[in-house]
Amino acid sequence: MDASLGGGLGWLMAVNLVVWSGLFLYLLRLHRQVRAIELRPAESRPTETREIAR
């Protein structure tokens, strides 16, 4: 390993991993929500979905 994790680099790596994991979990949750919306009849889809579509 050439790079030393001293001098705050280790903390930076940890912060990056936490941010990426948070974004990843949010996207997984969003993926499930999108799938649930697609399975509903068009008339019963939430209003905000229709507003986003505009």
List residues near another protein by CB under 8 A.
Answer: 1-3, 5, 7, 9-10, 12-13, 16-17, 20-21, 24, 27-28, 30-40, 42-43, 45, 49-54
* Closest CB 53 distance from another protein, rounded Å: 3
Residues 35, 36, 39, 43, CA torsion sign: negative
- Phi first, then psi: give them for residue 5, nearest 5 degrees: -90, 15
- State the chain's maximal CA–CA distance in angstroms: 58
* Closest CB 48 distance from another protein, rounded Å: 8
* Closest CB 41 distance from another protein, rounded Å: 9
